[in-house]
Copies of this chain bind each other. A is one copy, B any other.
Amino acid sequence: MARLKILREFTQGRHKHADCVTTALSVAEACCQQEGQRLTPLRKRVLQLVWNSHAPVKAYQILDVIRHEKSGAAPPTVYRALDFLQEQGLVHKIESLNAYVGCGAPGHVGSGQLLICRDCGEVAEMDDQEVLELLAAKSRDVGFEITSPTIEIKGRCARCRSKHG
Contacts and interface: CB of A to CB of B under 8 A. Distances in A.
A138 B150 contact: no
A146 B153 contact: yes
A65 interface: no
A43 to B, nearest CB: 24
A144 B134 contact: no
Nearest to A152: B150
A156 interface: yes
A109 interface: no
A153 B139 contact: yes
Contacts of A131: 131, 134-135, 138
A92 to B, nearest CB: 12
Interface of A: 1, 4, 6, 9-10, 95-96, 113, 115, 117-118, 124, 126, 128, 130-131, 134-135, 138-139, 141-159, 161
A138 B153 CA distance: 12
A134 B133 CA distance: 11
24 contacts: A1-B141, A4-B141, A9-B142, A95-B95, A95-B96, A95-B150, A113-B135, A124-B144, A126-B138, A128-B138, A131-B135, A135-B151, A143-B157, A144-B153, A144-B155, A144-B156, A144-B158, A145-B156, A146-B154, A147-B155, A147-B156, A148-B154, A149-B152, A150-B152
